[in-house]
Structure 1
């Protein structure tokens, strides 16, 4: 067995320390009035945070110390640093603003504590690894700075940068951090082989957009991230109701969705045109056999039962919206 070198063990932790230094540097940039550099420092911390864990798993250098260090670095880089940057920019000297900044920092720490406890939870369903519980810390730290990003891009203050709006925005992001709302985890997304080349082209275009229009690209990415939350909630709800799709590839999941159809996902039944047509044919058979109307009701002959059975077998009792051998429940049973 080949022993792993100490350098390999240190590399992921060194990246984590760099991310923490970038987050702390954002506070220093804010104190000197360079808010563009403060935003860039927190964005760099987010990029480094996404790399340290992957590199640790790739090099088989994961450790308990690395996990604890990563949580502490996230608390500083995406909790304390963004809160202080926002306080220096908009709430300096305002006691209520300081309370709002404290609320955000506390929610980040609570979110990280819950994340660490969920790592040891062995009773979660298989699909749970595809989602985060609440907004992750790096996304939350950047979302908090969205009003400041708009201020830097536009170059002047507006309704988005007023004190009350920024305070409400801060509390809303803090609530998303500690909420139970599912958000997608990029760690489990797999790209088909035929989509690799177009994806690399898209990455190149995104890199060019970030270099040319950095604040517009960052603000657009954050807004798209917020807009994806309803989709994540819907997908999580669908997976919770379809255990057969938990451990199958994406292509088979799409087949399961198509098999259930839009109407079934929404709890609706298809139109009853086919059933009405079958009933009309049965009535015409009864009239041809000479049974007409008796007392306002149509009496179907015995042969009409065979007609109904053949219609159900031919067209599929599931597609016609009927339940086989089950009586329809009354209002009191529903």
Structure 2
């Protein structure tokens, strides 16, 4: 270990792995009905997702492995975790079948959006709303659940699902 050069490509992957871990924790917290903690974990995933890209660009440490790990982490943290969170909060005890459909649609559209992102070569804009925004937005909504009628959640989740797979051009910010 000593005397060898450090491969800087690992640094962005550390942030990406933290993104995935916080997404996993969000699912666990949601299943245990610690909904605000789950939302907080999703927001920490947003932070880690932002940092992995910044670190990769700064160190010129992008790799195919890192890009794949990032997409896999994002589908868990911003597709599945928010879907489980909203399912537990809104649907579990009232309309479980409807909730499974809406939450499943959100996760599926997030995965499709990431698959499309991985094969497109756009540098100035995203095609469709980024999954990080969609998942982070749902987490933020939940943090204010005492001020928002429950009916807003399935509508917001459905609209965001459609926007993720839309052809809407969303400018890239903060690169």
Q: With structure 2 as the length reference, what TM-score do the two structures score? A: 0.89
Q: Output the CA distance in 1 between the equivalents of 2:63 and 2:143.
A: 36
User: Aligned pair in 2 of structure 1 residues 28, 101: CA closer, same or farther (>3 Å)?
Assistant: same
Q: Output the CA distance in 1 between the equivalents of 2:87 and 2:25.
A: 15
Q: Output the CA distance in 2 between the equivalents of 1:174 and 1:21.
A: 23
Task: Map Cα deviations across residues 161-206 of structure 1 (whole Å, 9 max, x no partner).
Answer: 13xx422221111011111112221135xxxxxxxxxxxxxxxxxx
Q: Indicate the structure whose relative CO is greater, using CA pairs within 8 Å and at least 6 residues apart.
A: 2
What are the within-5 Å matches in structure 2 for residues 145-164 of structure 1?
145-152=139-146, 154=147, 160-162=149-151
Number of equivalent positions: 170
Q: Output the CA distance in 2 between the equivalents of 1:183 and 1:48.
A: 21
User: Aligned pair in 2 of structure 1 residues 66, 21: CA closer, same or farther (>3 Å)?
Assistant: same
What are the within-5 Å matches in structure 2 for residues 111-260 of structure 1?
111-119=113-121, 129-152=123-146, 154=147, 160-162=149-151, 165-188=152-175
Q: Is the 8 A contact 1:78 1:137 kept in 2?
A: yes
Q: Output the CA distance in 2 between the equivalents of 1:143 and 1:187.
A: 18
Q: Which runs of 5+ in 2 are unaligned?
A: none
Q: With structure 1 as the length reference, what TM-score do the two structures score? A: 0.48
Q: Is the 8 A contact 1:148 1:161 kept in 2?
A: no
Task: Map Cα deviations across residues 133-160 of structure 1 (whole Å, 9 max, x no partner).
Answer: 11111101022335423215x4xxx5x2
Q: Output the CA distance in 1 between the equivalents of 2:92 and 2:115.
A: 29
* Shift, 1:24, TM fit: 1.1
Runs of 4+ in 1 over 3 A off after TM superposition: none
Q: Is the 8 A contact 2:71 2:114 kept in 1?
A: yes
Q: Which runs of 5+ in 1 are unaligned?
A: 120-127, 189-334
| Equivalent residue, structure 1, for 2:17 | 17
| Equivalent residue, structure 1, for 2:6 | 5
SS in 2 for 1:175: helix
